[in-house]
């Protein structure tokens, strides 16, 4: 029997080979498209379905690409000819909420926003907050170790995962981690699985850590600076002063120009760089007062508000970044991170690279944790691909981030798009060890072939 016949035999109408269903599976939100349709889509309804799919794939030597919502920005969930796509979207139930233990047990396909909507009545939340939270799955967030605006204070996804159930390439089901807050028995395979981008196993259940919803006042600062390097120095000074704002975001001149055009505003008249700070919790007023002082001393023109409507008005400027860039054309969203003290240097490097290649690179930074998203706006090649000059410029950006003690990717992952630079960051020995670890979990290379390693 062929692999499709075997899948259909066991999984019935969970299997689709309809060309219209398969077509969108060749792309994610990275802008990359393999343009080569996979063999089949399996929409798993249960752990049993996932185990059956992987057993069949292993027997037939066929690759499996696990897919959540397909919002990834690194090409991790992109499928190609001859592969099976395993969708988790129908496994979207909340299995348990424990208020006493501040945890939830969920299936991987639940959307982050849906989980948080259900948790609100318990006064709890799952803190990882990618800007895509309304449209991305918790399984995808875990598989990419997603971050967001609030990470400097509330941590990345890794800090919010206690335990996982994972199906291995050969179909075995592994339970790893603990329901308890603490737990150090053996090697930490849960941590290994977080951020593994579908290359080590399929996450089929997650026990996630919850926190009480923040209450009390919120203070928001919007500040304008004359140049981004000075503003970045002010951000570095704020974190060096021990302040942990919930959000600390920085947008450069090219970003503000795009936002002005998109919103029909003239925000740039106040200064070409925008800094947004939001402090929450009992100490928010004191934290905001200290931050305001640092910003003004650093040359920023700032407004501070505790009024929720005014705070939302300032936050809306930041939220307009991605739609404003999309309105300008095709965008390669990059994702380097550097130590926070190196923010001024990396912004100077971005300006240098933009000048050298004569391209505009609007950049937004999660300045509270040193993660930057330089956006390369480009005209695609005739086949839809990213022009070589953009990748050359991006390669220089990655090298600059590494020189400054940073990393190729702060939150989006390696996937397909950053494979070429992986060894540059890891070095030969670590690269080889990581490939050996991959081989322990997936000796036949069934899981997400061609990604990361």
Ligand X SMILES: Cc1cc2nc3c(=O)[nH]c(=O)nc-3n(C[C@H](O)[C@H](O)[C@H](O)COP(=O)(O)OP(=O)(O)OC[C@H]3O[C@@H](n4cnc5c(N)ncnc54)[C@H](O)[C@@H]3O)c2cc1C
User: Which residues make up the interface to ligand X (CB under 6 A)?
Assistant: 28-29, 65-73, 76-77, 88, 108, 130-132, 136-137, 139-141, 143-144, 146-148, 197-198, 202-203, 322, 411-412, 415, 448
Q: How far is the CB of 151 from ligand X (least distance, A)?
A: 9
Q: How far is the CB of 317 from ligand X (least distance, A)?
A: 16
- Looking at beta carbons only, is 97 or 447 nearer to ligand X? 447
- Looking at beta carbons only, is 8 or 29 nearer to ligand X? 29
Nearest to 276 by CA among 294, 251, 252: 251
Bridge partners of residue 274, in order along the sequence: 224, 251
- Looking at beta carbons only, is 62 or 203 nearer to ligand X? 203
Q: How far is the CB of 129 from ligand X (least distance, A)?
A: 7
- Looking at beta carbons only, is 304 or 446 nearer to ligand X? 446
- Looking at beta carbons only, is 229 or 331 nearer to ligand X? 331
Q: How far is the CB of 256 from ligand X (least distance, A)?
A: 19
Q: How far is the CB of 213 from ligand X (least distance, A)?
A: 20
Which DSSP string do the residues of 25-61 spell out, in sequence order?
Answer: GGB-TTS-B--S--SEEEE--SHHHHHHHHHHHHHHT
Nearest to 152 by CA among 40, 94, 227, 236: 236
At 125, list the tokens: 């939340």
- Looking at beta carbons only, is 156 or 295 nearer to ligand X? 156
- Looking at beta carbons only, is 66 or 273 nearer to ligand X? 66
- Burial letters 5-43, b for 16+ CB under 10 A, else e: ebbbebbeebbbeeeeebeebbbbbbbbbbeebbbbbbb
Q: Are 211 and 102 in contact (CB under 8 A)?
A: yes
Q: Are 163 and 103 in contact (CB under 8 A)?
A: no
- Looking at beta carbons only, is 143 or 288 nearer to ligand X? 143
**Other Cβ atoms closer than 10 A to 264:** 6
Q: How far is the CB of 409 from ligand X (least distance, A)?
A: 9
Q: How far is the CB of 411 from ligand X (least distance, A)?
A: 3
Give the integer Cα–Cα distance in Å for 75 and 47. 25
Q: Classify strands 363-366 and 371-378 as parallel, antiparallel or unpaired.
A: antiparallel
Give the integer Cα–Cα distance in Å for 65 and 371. 28
At 152, list the tokens: 């400097």
Q: How far is the CB of 71 from ligand X (least distance, A)?
A: 3
Q: How far is the CB of 443 from ligand X (least distance, A)?
A: 18
- Looking at beta carbons only, is 147 or 222 nearer to ligand X? 147
Give the integer Cα–Cα distance in Å for 369 and 367. 5
Q: Are 194 and 207 in contact (CB under 8 A)?
A: no
Give the integer Cα–Cα distance in Å for 413 and 419. 10
H-helix or E-strand spanning residue 324 = helix 321-328
């Amino acid at each position: 029997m062929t692999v499709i016949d075997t899948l259909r035999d066991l999984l019935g109408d969970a299997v689709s080979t309809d060309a219209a269903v398969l077509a969108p599976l060749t792309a994610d939100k990275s802008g990359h498209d393999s343009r080569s349709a996979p063999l089949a889509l399996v929409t798993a309804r249960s752990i049993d379905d996932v185990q059956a799919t992987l057993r069949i794939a292993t027997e037939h030597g066929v690759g499996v690409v696990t897919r959540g919502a397909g919002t990834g920005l690194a090409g991790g969930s992109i499928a190609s000819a001859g592969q099976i796509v395993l969708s988790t979207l129908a496994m979207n139930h909340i299995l348990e909420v424990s208020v006493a233990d501040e945890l939830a047990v969920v299936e991987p396909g639940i959307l982050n926003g849906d989980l948080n909507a259900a948790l609100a009545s318990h006064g709890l939340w799952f803190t990882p907050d990618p800007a895509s939270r309304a449209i991305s799955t918790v399984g995808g967030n875990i598989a990419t170790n997603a971050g967001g605006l609030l990470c400097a204070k509330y941590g990345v996804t890794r800090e919010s995962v206690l335990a996982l159930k994972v199906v291995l390439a050969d179909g075995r089901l592994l339970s790893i981690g603990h329901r308890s807050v603490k737990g150090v028995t053996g090697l930490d395979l849960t941590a290994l699985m977080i951020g593994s981008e579908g290359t080590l196993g399929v996450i089929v259940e997650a026990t996630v850590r919850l926190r009480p919803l923040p209450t009390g006042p919120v203070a928001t600062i919007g500040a304008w600076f004359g140049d981004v390097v000075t503003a970045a120095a002010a951000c570095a000074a704020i974190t060096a002063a021990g302040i942990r704002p919930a959000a600390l975001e920085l947008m450069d001149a090219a970003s503000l120009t795009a936002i002005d055009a998109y919103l029909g505003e003239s925000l740039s008249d106040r200064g070409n760089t925008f800094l947004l700070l939001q402090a929450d919790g009992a100490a928010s007023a004191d934290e905001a007062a200290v931050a305001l002082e640092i910003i003004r001393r650093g040359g920023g023109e700032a407004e501070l508000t505790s009024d929720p409507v005014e705070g939302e008005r300032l936050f809306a400027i930041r939220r307009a970044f991605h739609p404003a860039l999309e309105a300008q054309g095709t965008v390669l969203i990059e994702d380097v991170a550097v130590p926070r003290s190196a923010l001024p240097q990396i912004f100077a490097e971005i300006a240098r690279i933009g000048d050298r290649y004569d391209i505009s690179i609007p950049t937004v930074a999660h300045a509270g944790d040193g993660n930057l998203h330089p956006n390369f706006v480009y005209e695609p090649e005739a086949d839809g691909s990213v022009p070589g000059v953009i990748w050359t410029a991006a390669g220089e950006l990655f090298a600059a981030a590494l020189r400054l003690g940073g990393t190729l990717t702060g939150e989006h992952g390696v996937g397909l798009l950053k494979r070429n630079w992986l060894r540059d960051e890891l070095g030969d020995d670590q690269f080889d060890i990581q490939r050996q670890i991959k081989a322990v979990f997936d000796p036949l290379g069934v899981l997400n072939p061609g990604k990361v390693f």
